[in-house]
Chain A
Amino acid sequence: MTQFLIRRIFWALFLFLVATIITYLIFWVIPADPAALAAGKSATPADVARVSHYLHLDEPIWRQYLRFLWNLVGHQSLGNSFVTRQSVNHIIGQDAPVTASLVFGGAVFWLSLSIPVGILSALRPRSILDRVSMSFVLVGISAHPVWIGLILSYLIGYRLHITPIVGYCNFFPGGEGVQCSGPVQWAYHLILPWITFMILFAALYVRLVRANVMETMSEDYVRTARAKGASESRVMIQHVLRNSLLPVVTILGMDLGLALGGAIFTESIFSLPGLGHEVINAYNASDLPLITGIVTFATVCVITFNFIVDITYGFLDPRIRPN
């Protein structure tokens, strides 16, 4: 187990280095002048040079990268934004809960739709339910999140006035200068983004659950369970479900890790101040520390969720449990 953990930590460090170095390299390659952007429109060349020096942009890229690493290791700091001079830690700390609310809430939505529908489709292949859900899957896979989001906010938000069209409210009540807060407002504002997520992901997950359940039902041990005299519901719950949901856990972990790094489209459509929204702004302003900070955070999310998947998998499947 310790060996496993040590291997995982080394792997995580390696991934982190690769991801951040690539971010710096891309930044170095693209023709942008962040100093000029930061200095403002009416700045003189001398001002720009001063800003450039102040932001360490006049240093070679490898020194900038080492400085980033040193700040991270020595001061647990991701640096300050070129544009607002706010600490990147603080910005991510503000944005991450928004993205997390969107992703985890969305996951609850898409799982609670796709697991039952997938199972029912598998039990009655070629039935009406199966056909309807497969058509829905096709739409979900083909449609772009921007389109789904716009259609939803137009119909349900703008036309029917059932939900707000855009915006976000904090889960925890209070806070200064916030228009709205509290769990109810939080959920109310997130319903449409969640449904967008649901349509997007449920599509894949229905297929995944259906295929896995069908495959598991033809396993020899399921026949053994029937030969024992187990009822159909017992066969399903005790023998089919756990085995068939194993691969779903893997995919879910990867999707969650990935989505936490920023659900760019969905956040943009619904003006949610999350990481995806932030990364677009940062990119437009060539705000390297902020971009690197978000990349770092996303890498950590992916690594963490892969780790959680491994642990869960070992818990669910005794065959790969260490010892």
Chain B
Amino acid sequence: MPAFEVTDLATRFRTDDGIVRAVAGVSFSLDKGRTLGVVGESGSGKSVTFLSVMGLLDPRQSEVTGSVLLDGEEMLGASKSRLQQIRGSKIGMIFQDPMTSLNPVKTIGWQLEEAAQIHQDISRKEARRQAIEILKQVEIPRADQRVDDYPHQFSGGMRQRVMIAMALINNPEILIADEPTTALDVTTQAQILRLMKRLQDDYGMAIVMITHDLGVVAELADDVIVMYGGRVVEQAQVDDLFAKPEMPYTWGLLGSLPRLNSSGGRLEQIPGQPPSLLHPPSGCPFNPRCEFVMDICRQELPALDPSTVGIDHLFRCHLDEEARARIWEKKRQALLSEDAA
């Protein structure tokens, strides 16, 4: 049984301008100890999906439907107090900006102890011991002294380590990381990713890695879902996705990756803007930006079809098998020749 199973999740926001469908029918599952990469550009619904799952959206402005099973227990519609029990103990979460995600007027130690004491019936002393221990685990030097520091005395990378420590202090089954490296510089990014990998080996938690960086996905993920306009447009095991991506948006994402040994020309980009979630395009959400758009794309949302490459590899596209194979082969050759140049 998967640790985590999301079925047909939909999130709608009531705004003054109308209903925004931020997430429109997302399904996926996550097995114990595995890493799921969730890729998409800003506004694709990737963050909102997991805020919905965690019950962190303001219920006065949003409406979440579908099903979220955690170890077989339905989380949507669970009581407030049950959700509070689950958050931080079974699911840990870290966020994009470590500079603002810690309370500036409380010490690091206080915030870690709070996380431990909310879920465990332990003394302050024991909580402090755990706090120092977990800080050592996330490789904070002189953890027993730095535990009494305030967040502003830590650098961005160190603060993200503290966030990870706080999410892991109760040994959760799942760690949801919402763009954990986006606000960090490149060397720090690599350190944080390596740390998360090591912690996963030690603690065995499953990781959801929300990112817009396919490099991060290649580095860390076992499975990938690509989101666009509030929907899953492609999902696969990571090797299969990079071997044979099946739809134009994924092609665009791969094409726009910067390469170390490229000729120094302009990076490829996907033309146009992300779709409006207030007035989404009819049919396939990607059709206004797709270079292979056909009439049917404007009328009908393509179903999630299985690919010929890989197990559980699904994608949404109206192009036929032969056309997709031909286009990807051409794109692949272009990318390879660019690499060779």
Residues of A within 8 A of B (CB): 219-221, 223-232, 234, 238-239, 242-243, 316-319
Contact between chains at B166 and A228 (CB < 8 Å): yes
Q: Which residues of B contact A243 (CB under 8 A)?
A: 103-105
Residue numbers in A under 8 Å from B56 (CB-CB): 223, 226-227
Docked complex Cα distance between A238 and B104 (Å): 12
**Which residue of chain A has the shortest Cβ distance to B170 in the bound complex?**
A229
Query: What is the minimal beta-carbon distance from B195 to any residue of chain A, in angstroms?
Result: 19
Decide if A231 touches B100 in the complex (CB within 8 Å).
Answer: no
Which of B88, B89, B100, B150 is within 8 Å of A220, CB to CB? B100
Number of B residues near A (Cβ < 8 Å) is 31
Nearest to A126 among chain B residues (CB) is B60
With A219-B100, A229-B86 known, 19 other A-B pairs at CB within 8 A are A220-B100, A224-B163, A226-B56, A226-B87, A227-B56, A227-B87, A227-B93, A228-B87, A228-B114, A228-B166, A229-B84, A229-B85, A229-B89, A230-B84, A230-B88, A238-B103, A239-B106, A243-B104, A318-B104
What are some 9 contacts across the A-B interface (CB < 8 A)? A220-B95, A220-B97, A220-B100, A221-B102, A225-B114, A228-B114, A229-B119, A243-B104, A318-B105
Does B54 lie at the interface of the complex (its beta carbon under 8 Å from any beta carbon of A)? yes
* B contact set with A: CB distance below 8 Å: 54, 56, 80-81, 84-89, 92-93, 95, 97, 100-107, 114-115, 118-119, 150, 152, 163, 166-167
Assembly CA distance A227 to B87 (angstroms): 6
Q: Judge whether B152 and A221 touch: CB under 8 Å.
A: no
Task: Report the Cα distance A234→B102, complex, angstroms.
Answer: 15
A99 to chain B, nearest CB (A): 34
Bound-complex Cα distance A242 to B105 (A): 8
Residue contact A221 to B100, C-beta cutoff 8 Å: yes
Name the contact of B101 in the complex, choosing from A221, A232, A238, A318 (C-beta under 8 A). Answer: A221
The 3 closest A-B pairs by CB, nearest first: A229-B88, A229-B87, A220-B100
Q: Across the interface, which residues of B come within 8 angstroms of A232, CB to CB?
A: 80
Contacting residues, chain A, for B95 (C-beta < 8 A) = 220, 223-224, 227
> Whole-angstrom distance between the alpha carbons of A30 and B104 in the complex?
53
B104 contact from A221, A223, A231, Cβ within 8 A: A221
**When chains A and B are docked, how far (Å) is the Cα of A218 from the Cα of B48?**
16
Is B152 in contact with A318, judged by CB distance below 8 angstroms?
Answer: yes
**B54 pairs with A227, CB closer than 8 A:** yes
Q: Interface residues of A: mostly helix, strand, loop or mixed?
A: helix
For B104, list chain A residues within 8 Å (CB): 221, 243, 317-319
Q: How far, in whole Å, are A230 and B104 apart by their CA atoms in the complex?
A: 17
Max count, chain A CB within 10 A of own CB: residue among B85, B88, B150, B166: B88
User: In the bound complex, do residue A229 and residue B101 qualify as a contact, i.e. CB atoms below 8 Å apart?
Assistant: no
Q: Please, which residues of chain B bring their CB within 8 A of the CB of A220?
A: 95, 97, 100-101
Chain B: minimal CB distance from A169 (Å): 42
Candidate in A228, A230, A231 with the most chain B CB atoms within 10 angstroms: A228
Centre residue among A229, A239, A317, A319 by max chain B CB count within 10 A = A229
- Give the shortest distance, in Å, between A240 (CB) and chain B (any CB): 10
Q: Report how far A316 CA is from B106 CA in the complex, Å.
A: 10
Which residue in chain B gives the minimum CB-CB distance to A320? Answer: B152
| Contact in complex: B102, A224 (CB < 8 Å) | yes
B118 — nearest CB in chain A belongs to which residue?
A229
A234–B103 Cα distance when bound, in Å, is 13
- What is the chain A residue whose CB lies nearest that of B103? A221
Q: Is B114 touching A227 in the complex (CB atoms < 8 A)?
A: no
Quote the shortest CB–CB distance from A190 to chain B (angstroms): 35
How far apart are the CA atoms of A223 and B86 in the complex, in Å?
15
Complex Cα–Cα for A90 and B105 (A): 44
Q: Which residue of A lies closest to B88 (CB)?
A: A229
Given the known interface contacts A229-B84, A229-B89, the answer about A224 and B105 at a Cβ–Cβ threshold of 8 Å is no
Chain A residues within an 8 Å CB radius of B97:
220
User: For residue B105, which residues in chain A have a CB less than 8 angstroms away from its CB?
Assistant: 242-243, 316-319
**CB-CB < 8 A to A234: which residues of B?**
118
Establish whether residues A227 and B102, one from each chain, have CB atoms under 8 Å apart when the complex forms: no
Residues in chain A near residue B152, CB distance under 8 A: 318-319
Q: Give chain A nearest CB distance to B314 CB in angstroms.
A: 30
Residues of A close to B80: CB separation below 8 A: 232
**Which residues of chain B have C-beta atoms less than 8 A from A224's C-beta?**
95, 101-103, 163, 166
Determine the distance from Cα of A223 to Cα of B114 in the docked complex, in whole angstroms. Answer: 14
